[in-house]
């Protein structure tokens, strides 16, 4: 009886270890964008579910990688960092890809970071990525025209 219990307990611990190691996010399509001479590999969040989840529960993000949010309409969209573990910068973009503003966001906060005008897209990168490359409001992000419409 004890041997049977120990066997089941080991099996349970093994399954729990596998679940803990599994990523908490589904694999999303990756699109290529550019900011001047800089290439960006951005995961695509264009559905209500992927926009809601965003980069939550990630422990890291490779350099040059990010997430582009495609909204269904131009509006003063806002972002927050609930359940997001890594510090991020978000650039809000109009329908033509022009950067409206860039906000720095702290992990695991519910502070609202909003577009300075009507935005169609938001591009999240590791915090400081835009400033380290001299990318600022008024500049354009290219490659957005190839993205699917927000749903």
| CA-to-CA separations, 106 to 21, 66, 124, in angstroms, rounded | 25, 16, 12
CA pair distance 35, 42, nearest whole angstrom: 12
The answer to the question of residue 65 being in a domain is yes
CA pair distance 144, 121, nearest whole angstrom: 9
**Closest residue by Cα to residue 42 from 64, 70, 27:** 64
pLDDT at 21: 37
The answer to the question of residue 14 being in a domain is no
| Domain, as residue range, for 136 | 26-146
CA pair distance 15, 71, nearest whole angstrom: 38
The answer to the question of residue 9 being in a domain is no
The answer to the question of residue 2 being in a domain is no
In a 10 Å sphere around its CB, with 0-12 CB exposed, 13-18 middle and 19+ buried, how is residue 86 labelled? middle
pLDDT at 27: 85
The answer to the question of residue 132 being in a domain is yes
Q: What is the CATH number of the domain that holds 37?
A: 2.60.120.1140
pLDDT digits (tens, 9 = 90+) for 5-61: 445 545 444 434 333 333 445 589 999 999 999 999 999 999 999 999 999 999 999
**Do the beta carbons of residue 63 and residue 86 sit within 8 Å?**
no
| CA-to-CA separations, 33 to 30, 42, 71, 107, in angstroms, rounded | 10, 7, 17, 25
DSSP label at residue 103: E
Indicate the number of domains in the chain.
1
pLDDT digits (tens, 9 = 90+) for 47-65: 999 999 999 999 999 999 9
Compute the average pLDDT of residues 129-135. 97
Question: At residue 42, what are phi and psi to the nearest 5 degrees?
Answer: -115, 130
pLDDT digits (tens, 9 = 90+) for 60-107: 999 999 999 999 999 999 999 999 999 999 999 999 999 999 999 999
pLDDT at 6: 43
pLDDT at 108: 95
Q: At 67, list the tokens.
A: 């997430």
């Amino acid at each position: 009886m004890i041997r049977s219990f120990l066997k089941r307990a080991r099996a349970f611990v093994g399954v729990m270890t596998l679940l803990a190691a599994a990523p908490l996010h589904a694999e999303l399509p990756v699109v290529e964008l550019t900011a001047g001479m800089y290439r960006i590999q951005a995961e695509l969040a264009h559905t209500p579910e992927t926009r809601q989840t965003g980069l939550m529960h990630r422990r890291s993000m490779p350099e040059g990688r990010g997430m582009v949010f495609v909204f269904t309409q131009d509006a003063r969209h806002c972002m927050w960092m609930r359940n997001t573990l890594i510090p991020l910068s978000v650039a809000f973009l109009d329908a033509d890809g022009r950067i409206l503003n860039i906000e720095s966001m702290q992990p695991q906060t519910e502070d609202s970071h909003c577009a300075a005008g009507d935005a169609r897209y938001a591009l999240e990168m590791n915090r400081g990525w835009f400033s380290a490359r001299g990318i600022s409001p008024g500049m354009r992000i290219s490659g957005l025209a190839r993205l699917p419409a927000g749903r």
